[in-house]
A and B are shown apart, each in its own frame.
Chain A
Amino acid sequence: MYRKGIIPHTIFCVLLTAGLFSCKNAADISSLAVTIRLPNEPESLHPIFSKSAYASPIESLILLPIAEYDPISLTLTPLLITKMPVSEMVTEGKHTNGKVFKLEFRPEAEWADGKPVTGEDYLFTFKSIYNPYVNADSWKNFTDFISEIVIDPNDLKKVSVYFDSTYILDFEATTNWNLYPAHIYDPENIMSKFTLEELRASDKVWTAEQDSLLKRFATMYESPAFFRETVSGAGPYELDEWMTGEYIRLKRKQNWWGDKIENPPSLLQAYPTEITYRIILDAAAAEAALKAGEIDLMAEVPASSFKTLSADPDWKDKLQFVTPPLMVVNYLELNNRDSILADPRIRKALAYTLDYDGILNNVMAGLAKRTVGPIHPDRSYYDKELSPLHQDLNKSLALIKEAGWEDTNGNGTPDKIIAGKREELRLSIKLSNKAEGLAIANIVKENAAKAGFDIQLDLVDPGQVQQDLRQHNFQVMPLRMAFFPSPDDPFTLWHSSNDSPGGSNRSGFHTPELDQLIVNLRTSTDAQERAAGYKKFQEIIYAEQPVIFLYVPLERIIASKKIQLQTSSRRPGYFENLLKPAGS
């Protein structure tokens, strides 16, 4: 007969063994080692090539920018340079009537191997972007405004940067990017054989040897070695370990040069001795890890979970809940080229059908605030006189009627003859299966139906969404727009020159008046003139509703009470280098 009890006995032994091995250690916080959840693994830590938004904060801890927007004051603050350059008029030489910015790198600033940060590294970083075989075209178009870079031959720490034309983002173009150490990223010193001028010449014909060198550098520069193995800079941290799919660990440098700076700005302070970014894709698993003390901080907490946890008195004692406003805005992109949406009355009618508070409460659990236009509400030049739209079905119906739409065929949807063809007031919202977008789209569909809009949801592959967005093959699309602390430059999204297939003016909305306004904003140096320009810009967009702005989400961050957290409206809402033990 089969021995009784063997199976339950076996199961008990297995569980007992597992339980014995699984005793967890309490988290040790005295060593300032912090563990942060990373929702997605970046593909590289090479600022010129990395695409993931999660890479940027990590990169900045290793490869420090020359200057960066302070997380608290949101002003451009010198990091690698002694002070912010002042724009000076050029009165002689080839850049006469242009501007020059003179930078001086800090005497203390040095790379991980102790070599000093100099103008040669500055020039190298530029040259690497202009290597014809390096895929950095987006960077080129930002730095194209710089006319020339000259290193002081008597002091390599001093650099003059010339602009022949005025550009609203000249400070940013000069200073707000990560600096690369030339001797580490170009160990064969290839780029020193080329001048910046010849690299930028579009009609330059290279010799076979030069071509071979440029290709060699580009291949090396864009290789996995520099994506994830050799990641080195002047920042307070160095890459200690990167276990694919598991974590990325940074370690604080011993004897870092920034420790010698008196009254350092926020981004030159670095408290944690170790920062581990644990890659946890699933939000529920990340929440469990946070509760269990396996991670110390988690951002992008789903709104409903955030609300539930923050209301639980048990967890309120152990965790801290913060909601800094983020510099992003969620909106509905409308294709103004579409025969139905080309009419501003229809766009406004759609805008008036939406229950904005309902969207905020259902999608974001109330953790968001309304916004009216393409300028972030926290900007000083945000037009507070423009009041957010509210649901007004009567107005919506009146606008639809005024636009000549009427249900002539009795199917419940207004129709109209456009270009000789009967069109129904039918719109399609194209989106991928992201939860937030889906939730918004479903609410829009339900709300808009009350005014007669027949809205269909077109769920497609994320790749298809990108392609259709580029090709302007959509009617309505829920999107998110990111802002940076730098002054807004509406050129990319709103100027007529970008309204072409693949162009960045996705809505297709532009007017000659708006074009001129945008050009003035780009080149004006007068603060009052700029403020007036931004105001006018917002008024035009508000009046025309080429896109429908929904809300500015609040970031949802939960952190252990063992750490002291300082939040910021700069993404991701916190700064790892400023995390300290609670009570310090």
Chain B
Amino acid sequence: MMIRSLLRRCLNALALLGVISIIAFYLSKLVPGDEVLDYLSLDDSKYAASVDPLEQRKAYARVAKKRGLDLPLFYLSVLPSSYPDSLFLILPVSDRHTLKKWARSTNKKEAVMDLYRDLQSGLRHACPKADTSDAANQLCQTIRELMNTPDLFSAHHKILRTYHLLSKDSTAPSGTMAILDKFNHHIEQLIRSPQKLKAMEWLPSFYWHGSHNQYHQWMAGFITFRPLTSLIDGRNAWSKIFDALKWTLLLNGLAFILAIILGVLIGLWSGTYDGLKKESVINIILFTLFALPSFWLATLFIYFLSSGEWLSIFPAGGLGPYHGEANFFKKWAVLLTHLTLPVLCLSLGSLAYISRQMKQSVINQFHQPYVLSLRTLGVSEKTILRKHIFKNALFPVITMIGGALPVLLSGSLIIEVIFSIPGMGRLMYTSLVAHDWPVVFPILMFGAAITVLSYILTDIVYKWADPRVKSMET
């Protein structure tokens, strides 16, 4: 029975992960910006020279191909029948948008592709670096504008304007006017009476791409742990993730252990002394800590305990020179010193929550009939608390442990940034901002898989620990 239940849960989990991966993939495609152009441009070019458009298109195609962006998105494409079949092969992406608009407004996909091919050929003719005449520049510029003009009437206007300008220019290279004539002819054909869709053409077109698609490349890479290359620095994405993961596990693990131990102990004490004045004081302190945002706590700690404004007894951040220590204990001493403040920041907030849960659970246990029976039998309060109440009151905490597993691995961005710890939170954030999908996707799927797994494990542990749950199921 339990095995069947486990199997069912696993299958559901796999299906859920599949859905998450598809949503994540599509969301990444909706992110604004062009990742290839972002990669090819320089933030701080020393000499901002203008780029040769032909070279840029070649470079774009090269980088896009390397990243698999010339593949269709998914196994199956559903496109309006007015769209050209090979739309997903068109690069750069901005050209695709223009072609879609042209196709939608005219329903003449073959004519649209003819125009596009002629525009590309026109670019090769008009934009070579050798020819820097004004006429060539003007033609080159016009063609580039046309490729970014979704409105065909505006495009027509631009061609006529350029035609008018260059017809008076005797230095215009041979063939210039013929090229413009050709474009003009194409656009007039497109503008003139848009074609009405025939009956079957109202239906969308379905294209099956098999495994030759971007999503498949993503998932296959993730599932098989195939080397994925970071788009920012070319490193193996897995090694970046595991490098960050170890710090996150250490930081969050220590914080979690501290919060659990202290939370359970404080909760046990609070439940035992509920209603007393000192318990109320502890309550207030804990709720204050719970209410304080961790980033504010971090800033306060740094200001008062590190900077020297008041005290300077803790480092201000980083992980310290632990690399230089050969001795195992010294290495860990350096690390723990540097992790003290961030661990405190992370644990103090959850400490309040855990202790309150534990307290409530202890109070509930005190009201159980078995406690009265044990007292009647003469068992000491200390024994009742330690051997019976403590164990039974832990069940909500067990659930919390299961739910906390994903948090352990996801990192805490703000604490990592403030304390300069190169953990998963920081890695995820910097990779997201830089659109480094080979790093973002594995982290996301890893987190999702761990979350799902942790809930399954929690269920199993709960059933094993609490016989009442097991017997209810049977």
Contact = CB atoms under 8 A, between A and B. Distances in A.
A440 B329 CA distance: 51
A173 B53 CA distance: 21
B167 interface: no
Interface in A303-346: none
A501 B123 CA distance: 14
Interface string A1-45: 110001100110000001101111000000000000000000110
Given A462-B433, A501-B144, A288 B269 contact: no
A53 B45 CA distance: 9
Contact of B33 (A1, A279, A467): A467
Residue among B33, B236, B381 with the most chain A CB within 10 A?
B33
Interface in A480-496: 482, 484, 486, 489, 491-493, 495-496
Interface in A264-287: 278-282, 284-285, 287
Contact of B49 (A53, A138, A280, A289): A138
B318 A228 contact: no
Contacts of A142: 46-47, 49
Contacts of A499: 141
Given A241-B323, A244-B422, A502-B144, A466 B33 contact: yes
Contacts of A1: 381-382
Contacts of A172: 47
Contact of B37 (A6, A43, A144, A470): A470
Interface stretch (A87-95, A219-227, A388-396, A556-564): A219-227
Interface string A553-579: 000000000000000000000000000
A156 interface: no
Contacts of A144: 49, 129
Contacts of A141: 49-52, 55
Given A2-B385, A504-B48, A228 B233 contact: yes
Interface string B50-76: 111111101100110000000000000
B43 A288 contact: no
A224 B337 contact: no
Contacts of A288: 302-303, 306-307, 316-317
Nearest to B38: A466
B317 A285 contact: yes
A294 interface: yes
A519 to B, nearest CB: 10
B240 to A, nearest CB: 7
A282 B420 contact: yes
Contacts of A244: 240, 243, 422
Interface string B190-221: 00000000000000000000000000000000
A64 to B, nearest CB: 15
B144 A22 contact: no
Contacts of A223: 234
A133 interface: yes
Given A245-B422, A467-B33, A503-B50, A22 B313 contact: yes
B28 to A, nearest CB: 11
Contact of B232 (A18, A43, A132): A43
Interface string B283-314: 00000000000000001001100111100111
B286 to A, nearest CB: 12
A176 B426 CA distance: 36
Contacts of A211: none
B32 interface: yes
Given A43-B232, A51-B42, A463-B31, A497 B426 contact: no
Contact of B48 (A133, A280, A282, A492): A492
Contact of A287 (B307, B333, B426): B307
A189 interface: no
B318 A246 contact: yes
Interface in A203-228: 222-224, 227-228
A143 B360 CA distance: 73
Contact of A501 (B62, B94, B262, B266): B94
Contacts of A253: none
A11 B363 CA distance: 24
Given A51-B43, A135-B62, A292-B315, A467 B32 contact: yes
A241 B312 CA distance: 28
A32 B442 CA distance: 43
A2 B285 CA distance: 21
B148 interface: yes
A507 to B, nearest CB: 14
Contacts of B399: none
Contact of A7 (B42, B59, B266): B266
Contact of A492 (B49, B235, B309): B49
Nearest to B301: A288
Interface in B228-279: 232-236, 240, 243-244, 262, 265-266, 268-269, 272
A56 interface: yes
B313 A285 contact: no
B142 to A, nearest CB: 8
A511 interface: no
Nearest to A6: B265
A291 interface: yes
Interface in A142-199: 142, 144, 169, 172-173, 176-177
B95 to A, nearest CB: 10
B417 interface: yes
A261 interface: no
A497 B137 contact: yes
A284 B46 contact: no
Given A137-B55, A140-B52, A280 B307 contact: no
A418 B349 CA distance: 58
A460 B31 CA distance: 11
Contact of B32 (A51, A464, A498): A464
Interface string A31-74: 00000000000011000000111001000000000000000000
Contact of B234 (A224, A241, A501): A224
B35 to A, nearest CB: 8
A8 to B, nearest CB: 10
A280 B62 contact: no
A526 to B, nearest CB: 22
Contact of B312 (A11, A24, A53, A282): A24
A523 to B, nearest CB: 12
B417 A281 contact: yes
A461 interface: yes
Residue among A23, A227, A282, A466 with the most chain B CB within 10 A?
A282
B148 A135 contact: no
Contacts of B422: 244-246, 279
B141 A133 contact: no
Nearest to B55: A137
A485 to B, nearest CB: 11
A291 B48 contact: no
A361 interface: no
Contacts of B46: 56, 142, 176-177, 484
A202 interface: yes
B317 A280 contact: yes
Residue among B37, B41, B130, B234 with the most chain A CB within 10 A?
B234
Given A169-B47, A500-B145, 14 more contacts: A2-B269, A7-B262, A10-B265, A22-B340, A23-B313, A142-B49, A223-B234, A282-B417, A284-B299, A461-B33, A470-B37, A470-B41, A493-B48, A504-B51
Interface of A: 1-2, 6-7, 10-11, 18-19, 21-24, 43-44, 51-53, 56, 132-133, 135, 137-138, 140-142, 144, 169, 172-173, 176-177, 202, 222-224, 227-228, 241, 243-247, 278-282, 284-285, 287-289, 291-294, 460-464, 466-467, 470-471, 482, 484, 486, 489, 491-493, 495-504
20 contacts: A1-B381, A22-B337, A56-B46, A135-B62, A142-B47, A224-B234, A224-B236, A244-B422, A245-B243, A282-B317, A284-B303, A285-B317, A288-B303, A288-B306, A463-B33, A464-B32, A492-B48, A502-B53, A504-B48, A504-B50
**3 nearest A-B residue pairs (beta carbon):** A245-B422, A463-B33, A464-B32
